[in-house]
Amino acid sequence: MQGERVQLKIRFEDREWDFDEDEIDVRQATVLYLTYKMTLREWIEGVSQVDQRSLHFTYWLMLQQNGVIKPIADCNPKIIAFGVAYGDAREEQLAEEHGHAGRRCVPDKDGNCQLEQQAAEPGPTSPPSTSPGPASPEPSTPTAPARARRAQTEEATGY
């Protein structure tokens, strides 16, 4: 689903923190490596597996992204509580992306969110469509020329 990126809003330690894992920079990633010898992939996977190293680093990064700069060794949050707060924020973010903000995701047996499917479908009161639509609408590809131009530029500049 395309649209505005939704930042995580993590409510923890009596305040709300903005968090966006995609905003991590190289220096921050280097702290991750120097502290825990973890790659970005291991960190991201570790967060969903409640790996305490990943959560510790996430906490430190969250502070940084909100202007609180301190050594990771000085960060000692209640780590289970932080994991729960992070999980809640992630659920809220998903619900917003699915178009059912305020209600928790309801996954079906395939793991797809039922509320998202309901939000995408027309309501049950709309009249059934009687005329068949066009067989195959032409997909528009406005980005293709731009991609080609960018490729040429990269060749020219030697990247």
Q: Which residues bind Zn ion (CB under 5 A)?
A: 98, 105, 113, 115-116
Q: Which is nearer to Zn ion, 1 or 144 (CB)?
A: 1
Do 105 and 116 form a contact (C-beta atoms < 8 A)? yes
Q: Which is nearer to Zn ion, 36 or 86 (CB)?
A: 86
Do 64 and 24 form a contact (C-beta atoms < 8 A)? no
Minimum CB distance to Zn ion, residue 16 (Å): 21
Minimum CB distance to Zn ion, residue 76 (Å): 34
Q: Which of 59, 50, 51, 5 lies closest to 28 in space, CA to CA? A: 59
Minimum CB distance to Zn ion, residue 46 (Å): 24
Q: Which is nearer to Zn ion, 79 or 115 (CB)?
A: 115
Minimum CB distance to Zn ion, residue 92 (Å): 10
C-alpha–C-alpha distance, residues 89 and 19, integer Å: 9
C-alpha–C-alpha distance, residues 13 and 82, integer Å: 9
Q: Which is nearer to Zn ion, 4 or 155 (CB)?
A: 4
C-alpha–C-alpha distance, residues 138 and 121, integer Å: 22
